[in-house]
Amino acid sequence: MSEEQPVYRAIWKPKLESEGEGPYRGGNLRIDLALRVLGRGTRLLDVGCGSGALGSVLLSSGRYEEVHGLELSEEAAARARERGLRALAFNLNAGRFPYPDGSFDTVTCLAVIEHVFDPRRLLNEIARVLAPGGTLVLDTPNIRYAKHLWALLVRRRFPITAGDAEDLRLAYDGGHLHYFTYRDIARLLNDRGLKPERFFRILPPRLLGGGLGAPAGVLSRIPGLSELMSAEIFVTARR
């Protein structure tokens, strides 16, 4: 057992209990956006698949013939297998993924890159198993989100980027080890032959539901403000 395993087992235990059995019912902003962005394909790998929420919808809707998953938590991987994924318990810090080169036409990696020891090695492996012309969908917290800048510049505290109270109790900042801006992610992808195609905004519900409401969506489209108003960096890239 890796030294990270007990932490992520403890984090996933209450999540698995709270989500219950059955299909994914929506509500996770990054998963919901990935479902809107992804088209159809043959084989998809979900890196850090969790309990298989994303993959189960793609399978049940017939959008992919096979969905594979890698997940550190053995319990979460077991739930993903129950949902139809070909999921393996795998330490993403351990080295090569257990797949040949060019195995997948799509790879998803949602809220994972900030957790691994070496983001470059993770992206190298994603590029290796992704077929030429294949698509990567990647998401990670945005350290230039205005709320985080406020914490750093005004409150003089380093921002907390994890949003789950249980994650914060069990591991500092939910186990986040790295922090990225849009430009950081674009550079990391380009350096590994993964060409960013489109960046998306993820506006927090508290922003849309507050006094700004609809104007927040308009303001977020203004160059220079878009990155500041997005809580997450969500990008599609092509190999």
Proportion of the chain above pLDDT 70, given as a percent? 90
Q: Which residues, other chains included, contact 49 with Cβ-Cβ below 8 Å and sequence gap of 6+?
A: 55, 69, 70, 71, 76, 77, 80, 85, 87
| Strand pairing class (232-238; 195-200) | antiparallel
Pairwise CA distance, residues 108 & 38, whole Å: 9
Domain ranges of the chain: 5-141+165-203+231-238
Average pLDDT over every residue of 213-223: 60
pLDDT(215) > 80: no
* pLDDT(210) > 80: no
% pLDDT > 90, the chain: 72
How far, in Å, CA of 29 to CA of 175, rounded? 20
* Mean pLDDT to the nearest integer, 86-95: 94
- pLDDT tens digit sequence for 124-145: 999 999 999 999 999 999 999 9
CATH of 5-141+165-203+231-238, one of 3.40.50.150, 3.90.1570.10, 2.10.77.10, 3.40.50.620: 3.40.50.150
Query: Which pair of structure tokens corresponds to residue 184?
Result: 């950081």
In this structure, what DSSP letter does residue 174 have? Answer: G
**pLDDT tens digit string along 140-179?**
999 999 999 999 999 999 999 998 777 788 889 999 999 9
Indicate the pTM of the whole model.
Answer: 0.91
At residue 33, the pLDDT reads 97
Q: Is the pLDDT of residue 206 over 90?
A: no
Residue at token pair 């989100």 = 145
* Mean pLDDT computed over 41-50: 97
Least confident segment among 46-50, 110-114, 204-208, 213-217:
213-217
Please report the pLDDT score of residue 220 as a whole number: 60
Q: How confident is the model at residue 214 (pLDDT cuts 50, 70, 90)?
A: low
